[in-house]
Amino acid sequence: MSQPSPQGTPQEKADFEPTIVSFVCNWCTYTGADLAGTSRLQMAPNVRVIRLNCSSRVNPLFIMKAFERGADGVMVSGCHTGDCHYSTGNYYARRRFAIFRDLADFMGLDTNRMTFSWVSASEGHKWQQVVNETSARVKALGPLRPTVEPSQEDGP
Amino acid sequence: MNTLRELARKLLHDGTVQVVIGYEEGSRGPRPAFVTDPAGAERLIFDARCVQNLAAYLNPRREHLRRLGKPAVVVKGCDARAVAGLIRESQLRREDLVVIAVRCGGVVRDPRLAGELTAETVSDRCSGCEVREPRLYDHLLGELPPAPPATHRREEKLAQLDRMSADERRAFWDGELARCIRCHACRAVCPMCFCVECMADKSQPQWIDSSPTLRGNRAWQTMRVLHQAGRCVDCLECERACPAGIPLGLLGRHVARSVERRFAYRVSDDPAVPAPMGSYRTEDGEEFIQ
């Protein structure tokens, strides 16, 4: 388990399509992503959107679990500070993510695999940009080596 | 030591408290003592081998101890921060306990060691201690001993990890966490782990593998230490209790470092200071957010 991440051949790297899980808040980013869709903005198809009520609903366990279950990257996005539908949720979330990100880095999870962003309901273009940037960055990093061998993997 | 015994005897005799939680001599060095009878106060001791953080016994999870009645607890300055933490987070009411604080000149790493403090035997947490003179107490005992010998073991290890690449750090922690047997001693001994139901015990959904796979071990320690952000008093009881010898203190210290750098919060022995993860400032840094 201690060898460095496999780099793969250049061809394998070029063919690699990352799986990225995004946790977005219902009131800003989901609506913003919806706007990006209805505006027919082209963006990387690697991102799976999970809608939650608020960015402060995102327990760092969700991020851990996503990585454990095969995500190569995770995005978390919510309302800009001051614009939270629940007034203060994202202020708490911001503190939590800051500490989680520092800890993940300390334990050896490349923080380039995580994106935190504030995307408002009117920022369809920003969502497109965040998705494309994250996707390109994770693609360049290659697949996340799982922590256990597949034989140890339990059922689906 | 005599003042400690006298005080314990008096508190038990006049019914101020029903139990005094302190230290007594055991077969493998000092161990926690629960004195309910004034005559038993003779058993109490305190010296540099009294490593355990007795604030753990004030944790509301320990229902059997609550049934003994109102406690008096012997604390060092560092342990007093755990008492403050429990009060801060509404797990304990200040008026429900008597705090007997002792001035402390540092403790050894392991209660089985002889009580002599050298750079080799002193606990990592004692270096640069700011609370040798406790500030949260009802009774303050002892004279202030000289400062403990300095040790930089942990700072050196942290600096070494900081210099590594993410992959090297991952390999380091994989090597350490692979030994974890998931006995949850780190949770049981922790004064600040006070959830009635731990996320690691939930089965629907099962957030964390309950068997000792590397994946589960990694998730468990990450989440455990994350839940201790702004709570951990750096008593290193988790590291001492760990049968696999995993340097859990490094994780706690790293998170404390991160909390201090970002939110200018140092774990405090004043219960009135708000918990950092339960509060916020609008100007908190967000350099990592796009």
Are B218 and A105 an interchain contact pair (Cβ–Cβ within 8 Å)? no
pTM: 0.90
Which candidate in B180, B208, B265, B286 is best for mutational testing of the A interface (most A CBs within 10 A)?
B286
The 10s digit of each residue's pLDDT in A30-86 is 999 999 999 999 999 999 999 999 999 999 999 999 999 889 999 999 999 999 999
Residues B132 and B182 in one domain: no
Nearest to B93 by CA among B70, B61, B121, B116: B70
Question: How far off is chain B from A12, nearest CA to CA, in Å?
Answer: 20
Residue B273 forms part of a structural domain:
no
Question: How far off is chain B from A154, nearest CA to CA, in Å?
Answer: 10
Are B219 and A152 an interchain contact pair (Cβ–Cβ within 8 Å)? no
Residues B6 and B132 in one domain: yes
Query: Is residue A50 classed exposed, middle or buried when 0-12, 13-18 and 19+ CB atoms within 10 A define those classes?
Result: middle
* Contact A121/B at CB under 8 A: no
B103 C-beta neighbours (distance < 10 Å), count: 15
Residues 6+ apart with CB under 8 A from B263: A95, B230, B276, B281, B284
Chain A residue with CA closest to B172: the answer is A2
Nearest to B69 by CA among B101, B98, B40, B30: B98
Of A61, A106, A109, the CB nearest to B161: A106
The 10s digit of each residue's pLDDT in B3-16 is 999 999 999 999 99
**Residue A122, domain extent:** 16-149
Residue A8 forms part of a structural domain:
no
The 10s digit of each residue's pLDDT in B202-225 is 888 889 988 898 989 999 999 999
* Contact A70/B at CB under 8 A: no
**pLDDT number for residue B210:** 87
Give A69's contacts in chain B (Cβ within 8 Å): none
Residues B163 and B246 in one domain: yes
Residue A113 forms part of a structural domain:
yes
Residues B107 and B200 in one domain: no
Residues B8 and B137 in one domain: yes
Residues B44 and B158 in one domain: no
Are A82 and B282 an interchain contact pair (Cβ–Cβ within 8 Å)? yes
The 10s digit of each residue's pLDDT in B126-185 is 988 889 999 999 999 999 998 998 888 999 999 999 999 999 999 999 999 999 999 999
Q: Is the pLDDT of residue A143 over 80?
A: yes
Residues B240 and B189 in one domain: yes
Residues 6+ apart with CB under 8 A from A86: A53, A54, A56
Domain total in chain A: 1
**Residue B192, domain extent:** 153-265
Q: How many Å separate Cα B133 from the centre of its chain?
A: 17
* Contact B95/A at CB under 8 A: no
* Complex prediction ipTM: 0.91
Query: What is the rounded distance in angstroms from the CA atom of residue A138 to the CA atom of residue A140?
Result: 5
Residue A73 forms part of a structural domain:
yes
The amino acid at residue B66 is: R
* Contact B283/A at CB under 8 A: no
Residue A6 forms part of a structural domain:
no
Domain total in chain B: 2
* Contact A146/B at CB under 8 A: yes
Return contacts of B259-265, CB within 8 angstroms, 24+ apart.
B259/A99, B259/B229, B259/B230, B262/A95, B262/A98, B262/A99, B262/A102, B263/A95, B263/B230, B265/B230
Residue B278 forms part of a structural domain:
no
Q: Is the pLDDT of residue A7 over 70?
A: no
